[in-house]
Structures are given as C-alpha cells and as structure tokens.
Amino acid sequence: MTLIISQNVSLKTLTALFSSSARATVLRLFMLDPFRTYYQRQIEKATGLAIRAVQRELERLTGVGLLLKRAEGNRTYYQVDVDFPLFPELQGMVLKVCDDLDRLRSFAAMERGVLLAFLDASETHALFVTEGATRLGRSVPGPYRVELMTAEHFLEVLAASPEKLAPFLEGGVELLGRRDELIWRRIESAGYTVSKGRGVA
C-alpha cells in the first residue's frame, strides 16, 4: 500500500512539473535564481506570461512542495524550497538547456556573497559586487571574464571614478534584479539607469 501511495505522489509531482510550457517557463525563472523571492507581478513581467497562467502554475508548484510561499502585507512571495528532493536534478536540467548568459546569471545567483552582477555591452566582461568576497568558489561558466569588487570598493569607485564603472552601468545590463540593495540608491543618485538583462524581474 505504501509503495502505491509513493508511486502516486511521484506521478502527481512529475505531471505537475512537466505538463505545460507555462510551468516550464516559471520553473526556469526559479531555477536560475533559487534563493530569490518573487511576487506574482514580478513573475508575470519576467516571463511574459499572463497573470492567470502565473497564478495557476504557482498554485501547482506550491501544491507539490517545490515552492514555498509567504504572505507579507497584501503580497504573496514565492521561493524555491532547495530541500525539495528533486531540486538538484531540476536545476541541472534547466541549466543544461540554457545559454551561456543564463548560466552566468545562475552562477552569480548561487555564488555566496554576490550582491549584484553586471555584464558589459561587449557581453564578455562581468562585474560581481560582493559582501566582501575577493575570490569565487567555483569556475565561471561560459566565455566570460569576471571581476570581483567588494561593495565598499564599488561605492568608493562610484564616488571618485565613476567612468571606471561606465562599461557596466551605462552600456551593460544587470543580471540579478536585486534592486532592493542599498547600493542601488547610490547608483541611481550617481545618475545611472541600468537596464535589466533578459528574463530578469
């Protein structure tokens, strides 16, 4: 009896995960940056899906336990449960079918201590702003050269020599969408409007 129940749960989970292209689109967003929380309108904007499709897929993915949700005020936030039994495999599958830019974005999102990530206009040079890390814990995916800069040093350069950051802040794109970081206020105060990269909420 337990085996039958277990097989039914597995079948329900697999069906919920793979039976729609909208679900695959939502899954991709969460797998690329699994530590980030999103509310429905952010997901709608990042994926291009209609809000009803987003709501339907969030309900299904929450129902099988892949996503966690919490209410804060009048918004509900969703995040991947990285302890979900199939999380490593799902993320691996998503990353295998992504392009180099998405792999870089996911790499930045998963690297400990990275607060912000930018890619210059040539799409070959990335800048990761960190809490204090001066080395990466893993090899960078794809054909990118990555420069690390602590948040403190970044703010010093922004104030004293902003032209050094211009390739990232004027012609480049932001890869993570974490604009609630206090550093963003300083970037905006310096007169920069940085575009978000493809698929970034």
Q: Is the full-model pTM beyond 0.75?
A: yes
State which residues form the domain around 141. Answer: 99-196
Does 116 share its domain with 37? no
Residue 146 and residue 171 in one domain: yes
* Residue 113 resides in a domain: yes
Sheet bearing 195-196, strands edge to edge? 145-150, 125-130, 114-119, 173-174, 195-196
Looking at residue 198, what is its pLDDT?
85
Last residue of a domain, one of 59, 90, 121: 90
Question: H-type helices in 33-146, by residue range?
Answer: 40-47, 51-63, 87-97, 100-110
Greatest Cα pair distance, the chain, in angstroms, is 69
Same domain, 56 and 123: no
- Is residue 155 included in any domain, yes or no? yes
Residues 34, 85 within the same domain: yes
Structural domain total, the chain: 2
DSSP 172: -
Show which of 90, 116, 144 is a domain's final residue.
Answer: 90
**How large a percentage of the chain has pLDDT more than 70?**
91
Comparing C-alpha atoms, which of 117, 121, 187 is closest to residue 159? 187
pLDDT digits (tens, 9 = 90+) for 107-159: 999 998 999 999 999 999 999 999 988 899 889 998 999 999 999 999 999 99
Q: Is 6 a domain residue? A: yes
User: Would 185 be classed as within a structural domain?
Assistant: yes
Within this chain, do residues 140 and 103 fall inside the same structural domain, yes or no? yes
Residues 20 and 56 in one domain: yes
pLDDT at res. 10: 47
Residue 11 lies in a domain: yes
CA distance 72 to 191: 32
The verdict on 84 and 105 lying in the same domain is no
The string of pLDDT tens digits covering residues 40-59 is 999 999 999 999 999 999 99
User: What are the φ and ψ backbone dihedral angles of 103, each rounded to 5 degrees?
Assistant: -65, -40
- Determine the Cα–Cα distance for residues 157 and 151; give it in Å rounded to an integer: 10
Q: What is the CATH number of the domain that holds 62?
A: 1.10.10.10
Same domain for 181 and 157, yes or no, is yes
Type and span of the H or E element at 2: helix 2-18
Residues 131, 161 within the same domain: yes
Q: Is 201 within the bounds of a domain?
A: no
List pLDDT tens digits, range 60-93: 999 999 999 999 999 999 999 999 999 999 999 8
Choosing from 90, 118, 150, the residue where a domain stops is 90
